[in-house]
Amino acid sequence: MPSSISHSDAHKAELRGVREGALPAGLRQTAANRPGQAQPVPTRDIPTQPWVKIGAAVFVAVTLLMTAWEWNARTNLGLRAGDLDDSSQAWAEQRRLADAAPVAIVGDSRILFDTDLARFQQMTGVRPIQTAIVGSNARALLESYANDPNFHGLLIVGLADLSYFRPQGVGLGGPYLKNFEKNDKPSQLTALWIDRFLQRYLAFMDSDYRLSRLLPRLDHGWRKGVDSPYEDVWKLSETFDHRQTFMWHRIETPGYLQKHARYAWNLFKGPPLPAFIARNVVARSAEAVRRIRARGGDVVFIRPPSAPELRAVEDGRLPRSKGWDLLIAGTHAQGIHADDLPQAQRLVVPEWSHLSRKCATVFTDAYVRKLIQLTPRLKLRADAPPPLSRADCVPQTIASL
């Protein structure tokens, strides 16, 4: 009987398993060559090479390449260390906090980019939990909170009309929302912490500038009838602690990236939305609002601004009277539309859909002041900063126009 496990019966050399120098072809056998028997200690042959010198050379070369890549990221691409990127784990981290929070925000990228959490806190003493998701449907997030018996706070639902009034099943929060409670495994949490630590010092660590994102963008629509990666939405924002997200400074500057970002909103073009979609969306929203209120929570809808160029497209497909107004009436919830906030008029919307960083603070200031009037859950602090206006964020040359 073979007794491979027994040390006493085996030669020590055979037990080593590792052999310096590559074995000639055909001599390194696998279990495939030894049917029906106990498999011996496998042999791993180490090719004869100056591995230590090679390793040292690789270390030096990779360090140099990384230095060059980091330099390129900072100087040519305009990426900045401290931009923490977003991820399903980062979202799940905030979502778990939301259960005990007095105020949480859901929505698509507009309320995500256009809310200055620090300003909110300065004014009310409450820092809302930011759980809006880029490219998502705020309705799916609203329903997820409605289904969460632990949430009793105020839910701010930020929406872009064409995003919110989508057919059921489209843009539902994707991997962020799906089984988010499973995104708290020890390995996921440690990966998040290490990733954040590195991103505070390295600018090139940006998911929008990964190798596999950059190369396919060379395709400028080479195959007719298919959206090329070039036409996708590229990097628009920077993310900081607590998922505070602002517009990326390069998008605020006129140029190639700003034009590309505007071009991407062609995605919004299309025929007018059928009335039944709005009816369904309002009905589902009303049910979600009812459930949150039944638990002692509350819901406020907010519609951040968009630039006239995009607004024309949005109104063409779903005018305010057939979308927003029906939603507020149908859900019996409070709503704050950017059109109704005097301080939020003619703000800077560099790529037509999201506010500039400074104007996000102005818009936050404006909607929080209105919010305080609409709900007893928030109070203006005695030491709250004075109101902001368009002049605080619009460059003087433009403001005077």
Site for other proteins in 179-208 (CB under 8 A): 185-188, 190-191, 194-195, 198, 204-207
Site membership for other proteins, residue 5 (CB under 8 A): yes
Give the residue, chosen from 18, 267, 275, 398, that forms a contact with other proteins under the rule CB under 8 A: 18
Helix axes 186-199, 88-98, angle to 10 degrees: 110
Nearest distance from residue 33's CB to other proteins, in Å?
Answer: 8
Amino acid in position 390: R
Q: Residue 21 interacts with other proteins (CB under 8 A)? A: yes
* Under rule CB under 8 A, residue 100 binds other proteins: no
CA neighbours closer than 13 Å in the CB half-sphere of residue 299: 31
Q: Maximum Cα–Cα distance for the chain, whole Å? A: 95
The answer to the question of residue 295 lying near other proteins (CB under 8 A) is no
Selected binder of other proteins within 37, 76, 321, 397 (CB under 8 A): 37
As measured in angstroms, the least distance from the Cβ of 185 to other proteins is 6
β-pairing, 44-46 with 154-158? Answer: unpaired
> Exposure string (b/e) for 181-198, b if CB count within 10 Å is 16 or more?
eebeeeebeeebeebbee
If one asks whether residue 25 binds other proteins (CB under 8 A), the answer comes out as yes
Q: Binding segment for other proteins among 52-60, 151-159, 245-253, 392-400 (CB under 8 A)?
A: 52-60
Question: Which residue from 342, 337, 336 is spatially nearest to 388, judged by alpha carbons?
Answer: 342
Q: Are 123 and 385 in contact (CB under 8 A)?
A: yes
Q: Which is nearer to other proteins, 19 or 259 (CB)?
A: 19
Of 215 and 283, nearer to other proteins (C-beta) is 215
Residue 46 within binding range of other proteins, rule CB under 8 A: yes
Distances (CA, A) of 230 to 57, 138, 287: 36, 26, 40
Measured between alpha carbons, how far is residue 164 from residues 87, 107, 157, 326 in Å? 22, 8, 10, 13
**Shortest distance, position 291 Cβ to other proteins, whole Å:** 21
C-beta neighbour count of 365 within 10 angstroms: 26
> Minimum distance from CB of 331 to other proteins (Å)?
30
Tell me whether residue 28 or residue 127 sits nearer to other proteins (CB atom).
28
Of 195 and 392, the one with the shorter C-beta distance to other proteins is: 195
Among 100, 215, 267, 329, interactor with other proteins by CB under 8 A: 215
Nearer to other proteins, 169 or 254 (CB): 169
Per CB under 8 A, contacts with other proteins among 222-281 are 222-229
Query: To the nearest whole angstrom, how small is the minimum distance from the Cβ of residue 136 to other proteins?
Result: 18
Pick from 85, 121, 110: nearest CA to 162? 110
Three-state SS at 154: strand
What six digits make up the tokens of 173?
């929060």
Whether 102 and 154 have beta carbons less than 8 Å apart is answered as yes
- Binding range to other proteins, per CB under 8 A, among 138-146, 217-225, 312-320, 387-395: 217-225
Instruction: Write the CB contacts of 108 (distance below 8 Å, at least 6 apart in sequence).
Output: 132, 133, 134, 135, 136, 137, 138, 158, 159, 160, 163, 164
Which candidate, 293, 304, 369, places its Cα nearest to that of 331?
A: 293
Task: Give me the least distance between CB of 210 and other proteins, in Å please.
Answer: 5
Size of interface with other proteins, in residues (CB under 8 A): 84
Among 47, 254, 271, 296, binds other proteins (CB under 8 A): 47
Question: Does residue 4 interact with other proteins by CB under 8 A?
Answer: yes
Of 219, 221, 249, 222, whose CA–CA distance to 235 is shortest?
249
Q: Report in angstroms how near the CB of residue 347 gets to other proteins at its nearest.
A: 34
Confirm or reject binding of residue 382 to other proteins (CB under 8 A).
no
Minimum distance of other proteins from residue 19's CB (angstroms)? 9
Rule CB under 8 A: say whether 147 interacts with other proteins.
no
Single out the residue of 6, 396, 397, 400 in contact with other proteins (rule: CB under 8 A).
6
170 binds other proteins (CB under 8 A): no
Which of positions 57-96 make contact with other proteins (CB under 8 A)?
57-58, 61-62, 65-66, 69, 87
Dihedral sign of CA atoms 120, 126, 132, 138 in order = negative
The residue from 40, 102, 319, 330 that contacts other proteins (CB under 8 A) is 40
